[in-house]
A and B are shown apart, each in its own frame.
Chain A
């Protein structure tokens, strides 16, 4: 099982390494946010009451990491749809490789790619924009981003395998991702002081808002706050659920 997962991982990674440009293309958007939105954020954070503690970069960078984890991984399903239409998935499904390994190998590949992007982003924020954050906090943050990637790409594969259609997948993706991203408070944290009550409540229902809070806490080096614990627990639970869902879908015959 481990060997099979490793083989599947290796195959998809070999394909990605052939066109490493995708890794860069994937972080263009968050980098643009850093460059074109970050400076505005400095002023806003300084002049608006209600923001959580920390400076603009400590608030924005983890936000962009979560965005990368959510948004980047959601697109994983497209690769699966391509493999379905070329028959690659079916070819692999006739080999003795376990179906769970076919999923996990892919998910692992997406996670590694995401981590590379996340590290690039953090390094850039630190070197160019003077982001200051404790190393341990950043490391913890990256672990959470990795889990986030596992969670979201598993979901993306499950949805793609159920829909099996390059026409219906994008609209479904958009209709889920935009509200999810907004309710996570990526750019402007949804705090009790900033948001109207209904919006705040709505964001609390979104598991990723808790993950967001946990990441920001980690970036501030506050390891003992409730937010970090809540966020981590929520993240672990949704990741396990997502992988279980993905595995179930891959086991079903027409995935």
Chain B
């Protein structure tokens, strides 16, 4: 469905040059649900806008839904649906009008557009809202309307940019369900971006991790997690014993990435469950009283940490990122 090679985009302004995307290769097969995971400012939106013909790449080439991105942008636009990060419905319009005109933009007849609009509204829990002005919709309703607008022409490939950002947990879970059913029931290929780890983990068949304009890891959530070596263990100890406790932890078989805070010691071991008893014994022998203990299976955040050297949660706080 998508085959991109060396896609890059540089923004130039008078004062500075931003290499937003630095040559990414993307392959998405038909029927896949692929997530593009990265912190704010990583280049997700820029990549999506290139793939949807909104932005001309500075370099690279791509075939999207069987059409050449650079020479047949109209062909690409006919085949795809795109739901932008901020949506695209006009606050001053009625829900039903936006849906109808969107269908007509895609060449549907008025009757057909209305018929599909009804079906979509029902499917996305929008029924009963047809006569409402867009500005009176809740965040979740507006998001679902934006998605309905992107699906009116039954595209076989849809791009969703941060589909659940800013939604409450209930609406998010609800939207995940809708996105899954797109793929499961309608065979739509979905390419979405997210900066939520749990979303990428729970929703996507395959995740591409992007950071600073480069794809730094790719694979299914499980594959990615297995590249991180081992479980994370964090033990709480009295402040005066952290150094000793770190020493002990470091001597456990296979232990690595040992680090300490004022009153905790963290490290990784291949198997957290078997390492614990040994650790407890060793600490007791030294007379160190442990205050807490936590074992964590690797998460996508650990994957991000491993490949970039910083946590995705921290990366979110990059100042000035959009």
Contact = CB atoms under 8 A, between A and B. Distances in A.
Interface of A: 4, 7, 10-11, 14-15, 18-19, 83, 86-88, 90-97, 253-254
Interface centre among A19, A83, A92, A95 (most CB of B within 10 A): A95
Interface in B41-91: 52-56, 74, 77-78, 80, 82, 84, 86-91
Contact of A83 (B74, B80, B90): B90
Interface string B82-108: 101011111111000100011011110
B90 A92 contact: no
A91 B106 contact: no
Contacts of A86: 86-91
Nearest to A11: B101
Interface residues of B, number: 27
B192 interface: no
Nearest to B100: A11
Given A95-B77, A253-B56, 7 more contacts: A4-B105, A11-B97, A86-B86, A86-B87, A90-B84, A94-B52, A96-B105
**What DSSP secondary structure best describes chain A's contact surface?**
helix
A7 B77 contact: no
**What DSSP secondary structure best describes chain B's contact surface?**
loop
A102 to B, nearest CB: 10
Nearest to B81: A94
Contacts of A87: 84, 86-89
B84 A96 contact: no
A91 B52 CA distance: 11
Contacts of A97: 105
B269 interface: no
B37 interface: no
B149 interface: yes
A7 B55 CA distance: 24
Interface centre among B56, B80, B86, B104 (most CB of A within 10 A): B104
A122 B53 CA distance: 46
A91 B89 contact: yes
Contacts of B74: 96
Contacts of B89: 86-88, 91
A90 B54 contact: yes
Nearest to B93: A15
Contacts of A91: 82, 84, 87-89, 102, 149
